[in-house]
Structure 1
Amino acid sequence: MSATDSRPDSTRDVVIPGGQDSSRLSGELTLPTYARGLVVFACTGLASRRRPSLKTTVERIRRNVEVATLVVDLLTPDEDEPGPQTPHPFGDHEARHAGPNVTALAQRLYAATDWVLTEPNASHLRIGYYASGVAAAAALVTASTRPDVRAIVSTAGRADLAGQALEAVLVPTLFIASEADDIALASNRSARGRLRGKSELALLGGAGANANLESGQVLEELTSVASEWFARHLA
């Protein structure tokens, strides 16, 4: 660890095999000697992975719940800013306008989960997923086929994009949305209606608040309710 690196000694940068498409995914793994579980934070792009609010959320959940954490970017750098030569399914004309392919992202999250469980201190840990936006849909698709995933937290997520996989999700899922975010509210309520497992919807910000979950008191409340969910289901 460099003199300017303020991360815990148990934290390191990792490169993770992305599975079927031979991609290489960037991530940051914190694996303390003792952990009650492992929370995988699924991101889509460098800007998403490096948001200060995400760093704060990861640190608070790791401390509050006493878990190991893996922050993984489900997009490669080329896919993050796709051009004409970017491989399918992220670089074609339709993908650039419709957004990332949820199925492909889910396959990568599945592979990243397999990879982290090969770590000596992680193989026995219960898994939780934390994701936003389209990554939340990918987390739900992945969890629909992984019995070792014990909890999901979706923040401002597009859970509805998980499609038919929602009906196979048995994992306890917490949806977090701003009361002012009509799109996220509609998406989460639609998804909850199709889940077979336990789910809850936490509305943050209060009446008249903006849709930002990433600042001030709202972020503190978000990390608190997310921590409580993981503590309850990863214990």
Structure 2
Amino acid sequence: MNRREVLVNAAGEQLEGFLALPDGTGSLVLFAHGSGSSRFSPRNNMVAEQLNDAGIGTLLFDLLTADEHRIDEVTREYRFDIDLLARRLAAAVDWVAHEQTTEKLHFGLFGSSTGAAAALIAAAERPLLVKAVVSRGGRPDLAGSDLPLVKAPTLLIVGGDDTQVIELNEEAAARMVNSPQLQIIPGATHLFEEPGTLEEVVRLAIDWFRLHLS
């Protein structure tokens, strides 16, 4: 396993991240955090570690600069700036596509909360590079007019007790033309804090990425 800290050159900003590449991997999943989270997100780190154990590479990186993150903690203005998040995520896809250690890999995106909308927009803007998308408790509805443009196979995972987000995911899926799969995990709330629910997210994500990034 090759793990290292990286600086992602994304749309003119140097964004800090953790790149993990299991030996012999052919795939890389970029994480799009949401709701003010960062590369230190315990849930996304847990998901990333399990993906690594399954032989899938991961890139956890901050979509916001340190200054933006400090401002967002007070004003919450950046976490809903979907255009900004999507622009930086798409730029990060370009970055890994040109880095020597990752350029030959197949790329997928894993988005949480508002990060799911950024992931879908980035997938729509980079159809030749992004091969699969997974959304965990996401807000795909915030991708708006880009939803019908997404070609990458998309898995939408929502907690069974997260009723409002289920409705938003159903509405978003109805606007997509790539036949997205909506997977509802019984007994799970928005953050998948209930025993075994995040593990189920991981299992579904691994299966999805193995299928579409092989």
Is TM-score (shorter-chain normalized) higher than 0.5?
yes
Question: Which residue of 105, 110, 125 maps to 2:90?
Answer: 110
Query: How far off its partner does 1:72 sit?
Result: 1.5
Deviations 1:102-122 (A, max 9, x none): 111111011111111222231
Answering whether residue 15 of structure 2 is matched by residue 34 of structure 1, we say no
Give the TM-score, by structure 2 length: 0.91
| Structure 2 equivalent of residue 13 of structure 1 | 5
Deviations 1:66-99 (A, max 9, x none): 221111111111111217xxxxxxx9x8x72x84
Deviations 1:159-204 (A, max 9, x none): 1000000011111100001011122112211110111113101111
Answering whether residue 120 of structure 2 is matched by residue 130 of structure 1, we say no
Q: Kindly provide the amino acid, as one letter, of the partner of residue 226 in structure 1.
A: A
Q: Kindly provide the amino acid, as one letter, of the partner of residue 83 in structure 2.
A: T
| Structure 2 equivalent of residue 73 of structure 1 | 62
Q: Distance in 1 between matches of 2:57 and 2:64?
A: 22
- Map 1:83-98 → 2, pairs under 5 A: 96=77
| Structure 2 equivalent of residue 5 of structure 1 | none
- Count of residue pairs brought into register by the alignment: 213
| Structure 1 equivalent of residue 178 of structure 2 | 197
Q: Distance in 1 between matches of 2:109 and 2:147?
A: 15
What are structure 2's unaligned runs of at least 5 residues?
none
Root mean square deviation of aligned Cα:
2.2
Question: Which residue of 205, 208, 213 maps to 1:226?
Answer: 205
Query: How far off its partner does 1:145 sit?
Result: 1.7
Q: Is the 8 A contact 2:35 2:113 kept in 1?
A: no
Q: Is the 8 A contact 1:42 1:130 kept in 2?
A: yes
Q: Distance in 2 between matches of 1:76 and 1:150?
A: 27
Query: How far off its partner does 1:205 sit?
Result: 2.9
| Structure 1 equivalent of residue 133 of structure 2 | 152
Q: Is the 8 A contact 2:34 2:111 kept in 1?
A: no
Q: Kindly provide the amino acid, as one letter, of the partner of residue 8 in structure 2.
A: I
Q: Distance in 1 between matches of 2:141 and 2:132?
A: 18
Q: Is the 8 A contact 1:129 1:149 kept in 2?
A: yes
| Structure 1 equivalent of residue 13 of structure 2 | 23
What are structure 1's unaligned runs of at least 5 residues?
1-7, 84-90
Q: Percent identity?
A: 35
Q: Distance in 1 between matches of 2:164 and 2:68?
A: 25
SS in 1 for 2:138: coil
Query: How far off its partner does 1:12 sit?
Result: 0.7
| Structure 2 equivalent of residue 88 of structure 1 | none
